Structure formats: C-alpha cells, structure tokens
Chains A and B, each alone.
Chain A
Amino acid sequence: MPFRSAIGRIAVSISTALAIAAVAAAPAAHADADPASDFLLAAPVFYPYQPATSPAIKTALEGTLAKLKREGLNLKVAIIDSPNDLGGVSNLWRMPQPYADFLGKEISFNQKQPLLVVMPPGFGVYGMNSRSALNGLMPNASQQADGLARSAITAVVRLGQADGKQITEPTIRKEASSGKGTPALIVFGAPVLLVAIAALIALTRRTHDSEPDQEEGESAA
C-alpha cells in the first residue's frame, strides 16, 4: 500500500447536501457545514479543536451524560471556544441560542434531539423545556476549553435535575502533573538501588566472616 509521510499536509473541506424532495416542506435545509453536526451523530460531546480539553474533565462530562442517558435523557453537548469550531457557520460565533437552534435541527431526525451549546457568552438549549434551569449560570471562559467543559458539566446537571433526573455533579479526578516533581525513575529506583547496595554489603560481610582465621588454627594444634 503506498504511503507518504505528511510533509506540510493541506486540508480541503467537502460537504454534501442531500435535499430530498420528501422533506421539501421542512424548514429550509442547509448544506452540512459545521463540524459539531458530524461529531454529534457518533459522540455525545463536540470539544473545541484547540486547546485540547483535559482527559479528566472529558471523563467527568461524558460520564454524567451517560448517566442521564440511562435515565432516559439522551442529551448532547457542543462546546464552542472559537469561530474555528464552527466551520462554515462562523457567523453564529458568540450566538449560543441561534447556534443551538441551527445545530439542533441538523442532528434531529424523528424527534427533537436535546442539545446544550456552550460558548463564552452563554448557553443555548434545544429540544428541552428546562432552559430556565440555567438562569444565572455563566460559562467560565477564563480557562478556555477546560473552563467551558466544566461549565458544561454544571449545566448538564442542572438540566437533568430540572427534567426530574437523579443526577449530581461528579468529582473531577485530579490528573498527575507531568514535567514537574521528582521523576518516577528516581522515586521508585532509588529505594530499589539502596536495597540492592545493602544486600551486597551484607553478602560481602557474610563472605568475609566465613573465612577461617589462620593464627587461631595454628595455636590449637
């Protein structure tokens, strides 16, 4: 199979619009233009492209959504941290509710797909009647993707509770810091090395003690 290393790869966007006559009576169709509409068909959350969301926060958010799904609420979340996360609809940047209305229709089929959109200026909700549960809550944009994802967790819990679900805010596991602190090789290797040195000393002493004393043997004869 031919293989070339990627040297300065380029990107092209191809989208397809399948406007079938049977749905002509529906609201005007739009060509598939935003990344979240593709991701959310196969995943519960769309995360910002950059910076990456930390794994611990992702685990907490997706775990919360999984619990809600088991209780009958299949809520999806789109976290938008910059216009780059919107693809062909960057005109909806900083407009969380209009984007939620747009995206919600894209990912809904036989029924409305419950959806939460998180952007720095606020939240958008589609397919649920409990938007008022988010009154007074503002996304934390100071920490970019991680801050928005944490805010998403709080919003998801509030929406779930307003929908009568038994859900509470999860504990977000603290991740081990990398590049700081004592390297693992020294932390775990030093005691092992000390034990090895001690064993060698003990063995050396035992060997020395077991050798016969020449002067004592000669005086007894």
Chain B
Amino acid sequence: MAAGIGIAPPQRRQGASVAGGRCAYPIRTADPTGVILVDPPSTNEPPPTVEELFKLWGQQLSRHRLASFTAAHNGSVTAFVDGRSVLGPPGAIPLRRHAQIVLEIGPYVQPHPAYRFAPGL
C-alpha cells in the first residue's frame, strides 16, 4: 500500500516514508507497509472503514475489484480480519485498532495470523 495516502501535497519524503504534508486526513499512511494511522473517532461516531481508505487512496474496491485488478470469472475479493475469513463487502470492514486486514484476489494465499506493530502504535 502506498505511503502518503491521506496526506495532502506537497509531501515531505524521507526515503520510502512520508514525513508530512500540507495537512492530513484522519486516515493516512506514513510508509508503504500497509499500516494505517487512524485518528480515533469521537464517542458517537462509528470507526472509519476500508472503503473510506480506498476512496482517499483513489483506488477501487468492490466484491470483484481490488485496485487495478479484477477478479476472474466467478471470482471475488476475499477478506480476512485477524486471520479469519470475513463475509460481506470488503469495504465495510471497520478500521479498528491493531486489526490485521488482508484483502486477496485470485487463488488463496494464507493470510498471516499475527502482526507486530511498531512500538508506540
């Protein structure tokens, strides 16, 4: 996943990371690892979703489309959260703290069961 999603240009780059920009959305990526930084919503607001992230990124996400890839005939995008398969539209998956979300298109690839986040996250 690209670094700098949700960070407005001009972006300040440090190697593969984006150190900052003109301003930032509550959902953003600072590096290309796929770790999403999310400002916690206020008490009455639901958490943001994967669909909101992809909209910020400018990429498509649907049952049959993942970014520029389209599922083969009768195929679909499969989603896993914390190693478990999730039914329903992948865009509806909420971005909860330390959720490990894997989106796949094509033949099955075993998702990783755990992810160690960098200290402080």
Contact = CB atoms under 8 A, between A and B. Distances in A.
Contacts of A38: 1, 16, 31-34
Given A38-B16, A42-B15, A17 B102 contact: yes
A17 to B, nearest CB: 4
B34 A14 contact: yes
Q: Is the interface of B mostly helix, strand, loop or mixed?
A: loop
B62 to A, nearest CB: 14
B115 A16 contact: no
A1 B53 CA distance: 16
Interface string B77-121: 000000000000000000111111111111111111111111111
B112 A33 contact: yes
Contact of B98 (A3, A11, A15, A83): A11
Interface residues of B, number: 51
A69 interface: no
Contacts of A20: 106
A31 B66 CA distance: 15
Nearest to B105: A18
Contact of B104 (A16, A43, A83, A86): A16
Nearest to A40: B16
A21 B1 contact: no
B50 interface: yes
A35 B40 contact: no
Contacts of A121: none
A12 B32 contact: no
A52 B88 CA distance: 41
B19 interface: no
Given A6-B37, A7-B39, A84-B119, A13 B106 contact: no
Given A21-B107, A38-B34, A86-B116, A7 B40 contact: yes
B111 to A, nearest CB: 5
Contacts of B118: 11, 35, 49-50, 84-85
Nearest to B66: A16
A32 interface: yes
Contact of B35 (A13, A42, A43): A13
23 contacts: A7-B40, A9-B38, A9-B121, A10-B98, A10-B121, A11-B35, A11-B117, A12-B38, A12-B101, A13-B34, A15-B1, A15-B100, A30-B110, A31-B112, A35-B31, A38-B1, A38-B31, A42-B15, A50-B118, A50-B120, A84-B117, A84-B118, A88-B113
Interface of A: 1-21, 24, 29-33, 35, 38-39, 41-43, 49-50, 83-90
Given A11-B38, A30-B109, 20 more contacts: A3-B24, A9-B38, A11-B36, A12-B96, A15-B1, A15-B102, A17-B104, A17-B106, A18-B69, A18-B106, A19-B107, A21-B72, A21-B106, A38-B34, A41-B32, A84-B116, A87-B33, A87-B116, A88-B112, A90-B116
